[in-house]
Homo-oligomer: A and B are copies of this chain.
Amino acid sequence: MLSLRLTSFTHLLSPPSSAAIARRSRAILRRRHHLRQRPLAASFSAQSATAETQDRVNNSKNRVPEQVITPRSQDFNAWYLDVIANAELADYGPVRGTMVIRPYGYAIWEAIQEYLNVKFKETGHSNMYFPQFIPYSFIEKEASHVEGFSPELALVTIGGGKELEEKLVVRPTSETIVNHMFTQWIHSYRDLPLLINQWANVTRWEMRTKPFVRTLEFLWQEGHTAHATPEEAEDEAIQMIDIYTRFAYEQAAIPVITGRKSKVETFAGACKTYTIEAMMGDKKALQAGTSHNLGQNFSRAFGTQFTDENGVREHIWQTSWAISTRFVGGIIMTHGDDAGLMLPPKIAPIQVVIVPIWKKDDEKAAVLNAALTVKDVLQKSGIRVKLDDSDQRTPGWKFNFWEMKGVPLRIEIGPRDVASGSVVISRRDIPGKQGKVFGISMEPSNLEAYVKDKLDEIQSSLLERAIAFRDSNIVDVSTYSDLKAAISEGKWARGPWSASDEDELKVKEETGATIRCFPFEQPQGIKTCLMTGNPAEEVAIFAKSY
């Protein structure tokens, strides 16, 4: 029984044993099997290992890791789940729809946190923590909020062995409890603006789940701010979506399209929702971060008022904004390829892997010694580097393994390199010989500069490639039939839109696509609504989405 369980786990940076690879391929098959029949099965039973699985297991010892990953072009969803399993990013929790974030996946989340946490503080926000249990009555106070969230709530009804008088909501988001506290803290204009953020877990009882992208519980940051004027709230909402946009482009190399949501797609309780929309490798859109101008919706519901400079009582103006572990899914689905994960250097837990190569025992010491020196040099200059000196695996196996894990650069050191005082460097983003450069001098200042330069190049190159992919898959449309054609080809459609909510819902029903946003960047010139032929002020982007 036990030997049929899931993939091996040693340490964030250790390659698994061959038995682990065998188990992994089994596990992947079993998972896929489960996913097709009942998504995110609550438990994995040995019975689900079919005869076909057993065959694959028996054959898998000789395989290199990438062979257990379904080709991306063949089945994008299967590829995605295979990458998550093989690169040890996450695993399924015992409760349907929950996810265990494993060290390598969590390290990507930590990189996201580190960057954003600094930006939030630089822009005057303080971290704090609100309780996750919210009285049910709070959720009911804001009409559209309760409508949006009540189908997704997890409710605590028993505490300390007793039925509770009022059931408690496990936070799906914190606007209500935040407003309850703001009402106690805010009195006069001198108390504003109030700018806070929390890093927390949230729970939404989703029926169709997918690791990172949509899970029953996920991790996020949620910013909440209170202002004296609607202009300040609007500026804040824009400032934060700008920070998310810069993060996406500069750190994650994801060329999101930033814009405003349609009324239909606006957050439950917001006046305006700004969003960053990313195009995944299958051309579906991923909403990767949102910033809401909440207006006075929550302050009116909760009576959150302040005395302005003229002594008049006014309701505060608010924003909220969030990025979640979903972003990790966005990184996987933007950059990954058939070989597995491909990580932008700035957020890669390991930026450089060193693979020492020796055949004879008398070569080993010199090679390992040189590898260690190179590791030290790079580590000291702030590069996140891993030396894979295990002797249980061949260099070829290691190459494939670390490519599958998405490490941006690989340094190879063999006896001839030691003799010539140089190394071989391979880029993850350029496969085969084209991405390989021989004879880079080991001399510390040279090597450090070369590696940093290459990491920058890879970072830019991933972004450029993603921009090209995005732009080649957005079609400008001027009629509904153009739109339908573009969507049916799996592309994004961009066209002028001033039609009704009903028309928007009709598009969704007939094509499966929704308005992802009215992008901030708008084409010049006169626009005519693709649906009605009426004048339109803006183009909208339509796409199928996660």
Which A residues contact B (CB, under 8 angstroms)? 2-3, 5-12, 17, 19-20, 23, 42, 44, 91, 93-95, 98-103, 105-107, 109-110, 124, 126-135, 138, 150-161, 167-168, 170, 177, 180-188, 190-192, 194-196, 200-201, 203, 205, 207, 216-217, 219, 303, 305
Complexed CA–CA distance, A2 and B187 (Å): 8
CB distance from A136 to the nearest CB of B (A): 10
In contact, A159 and B150 (Cβ under 8 angstroms): no
In contact, B131 and A99 (Cβ under 8 angstroms): yes
Knowing A17-B190, A170-B156, the reply to whether A95 touches B128 (Cβ < 8 A) is no
* Number of this chain's copies in the complex: 2
In contact, B185 and A95 (Cβ under 8 angstroms): no
In contact, A154 and B150 (Cβ under 8 angstroms): no
In contact, A94 and B188 (Cβ under 8 angstroms): no
Knowing A100-B128, A191-B10, A217-B133, the reply to whether A159 touches B155 (Cβ < 8 A) is yes
In contact, B161 and A151 (Cβ under 8 angstroms): yes
Q: Which residues of B contact A94 (CB under 8 A)?
A: 131, 134-135, 138, 177, 180
Q: Return the chain B residue nearest A194 by Cβ.
A: B9
Knowing A2-B183, A100-B129, the reply to whether A194 touches B10 (Cβ < 8 A) is yes
Complexed CA–CA distance, A107 and B128 (Å): 8
In contact, B187 and A100 (Cβ under 8 angstroms): no
In contact, A129 and B155 (Cβ under 8 angstroms): no
Q: Return the chain B residue nearest A110 by Cβ.
A: B127
Q: Which residues of B contact A44 (CB under 8 A)?
A: 184
Knowing A91-B181, A133-B98, the reply to whether A103 touches B196 (Cβ < 8 A) is yes
Q: Which residues of B contact A42 (CB under 8 A)?
A: 135
What are 12 A-B contacts with C-beta separation under 8 Å?
A: A5-B183, A9-B182, A9-B186, A91-B184, A93-B177, A98-B131, A109-B129, A133-B154, A153-B160, A156-B157, A156-B170, A161-B205
